[in-house]
Structure 1
Amino acid sequence: MDNAAEVETRPQPVQLPEAVARIEQVARERGLMAVMTMNTRQLSMLLFPDGHDHRKVTTRARNVLLSENCKQLADKLTREQLQQELENKPNEKKQLAEGVAIIRQFERKRGIFAVATMNAWQLSALMFPNGEDRREIALKARNVLMDEHRKRAAEKLKRGELLAAELKAETDKGK
C-alpha cells in the first residue's frame, strides 16, 4: 500500500505545450522581460503552483517562447529594413550625385591623384563632414569620377593618335 500512496503523490509530468501556453500567458500579463529575468525556480513556482519542481520543462518552455519571439522580431526587423532600404534608394542616388560634385570640387583643388589615393573613410569624411560613415557611397562616387577620367583619357589618346597619324601622313607627302 505504501507503494500505491507513493505513486499518487508523485507529480504528474508536465507536457511542453502546456508549459509553453502557461509561460505565454505570464508573458502577456507581466511582459516578456519579466519572464526572461526570472530564474528557473521562480518561473517554475509561478507557472506550476503545485509545489513540485518543474524547472526542466520550464526552461524548455521559456526557450520555445524566446525563439518564437526572436523569429517574430527578426521578421519584423527584416520587413522594416527592406522598407527603409526602399525609401533610401532615391536618397542614395541624391547623395551619390552630391558626393560626385564634392569630390570633383576637391579634385580641381588637389588633383586627381589626391582623390585616387584617398581611402574610403577619408572620402566619406570629405563628402559628409557631419560625421556620417557612408564609405559605400563615397567609393561609388569616386568610381563614377574615375570612370569619367578614364573615358576622357581614352578619347584624348585616340585624338592624339589620329593627330599623330595625320602629321605623319603630311610629313610623308612633303618628302
Structure 2
Amino acid sequence: MRPRPIRGERALADATARLIVEYPQLTRIDLRQTLPCVGDLPRAACARLFRVSAALACSRSLRRVVTSSDHLAFARNVAPQMLRTIQKHARAESDDLPLGASLNFLDRRDMTAAGFALSLRGLGDGGEVQHTWLRLRMPREIVEAAVRFHARDVTIEDARALLDEASRLMRGEPC
C-alpha cells in the first residue's frame, strides 16, 4: 500500500499498526495452521517457492522446454539452476495437475500466481485468516493474477505436497 519500501524499525512498526487496524483478524492468526514452508520465508523467497511449486505441478510439460534460450529464460524468470532438477523429478512421470488455466512456464508473474493459487489451495477452506495473511504477503498483481489459477481440482494434500517438495528442492540454495 506504500509507494516506497519500508526501511527502518519505526516505519515498520507504523506499517504493522496500520495493517492491524485495517485487518484486525490478523491478530487471531495461528501460524501453526499456516503452511510451514511459507511462514518463515522472506517475501522474495516465498515467491520463488511458489514458482518452483507451480513448475513441479507441471513438470511433465516442462520436459518440452529444451532450447538453451528457454533454459536461460526459465533460470532468469523462475528459478536459477532448477529446470533440469524439475525435469528429472519423479513428479514429471505423472500428469500435470489441473491449475484451471494454461500456464506460461517462462513468465515470472504467471508462475508465481499459479504457485500462489496452489498455496491457497494447500491451506484448504477453513483458514480465512491464513488466506488473508498469505494474500498480504504477495504483491497485489500476483494475487489478482492467481484468480485465473483456481486449482479446484487439486487436492489439498497434493498442493501441500508440492509446496513441501519445492521447499526441499530449494533448501540450501540462495534465493
Question: TM-score normalised by the shorter chain: which range applies?
Answer: under 0.3
Q: TM-score, normalised by structure 2?
A: 0.21
Q: Which has the higher helix share?
A: 1
Q: TM-score, normalised by structure 1?
A: 0.21
The structure whose Rg is larger is 1
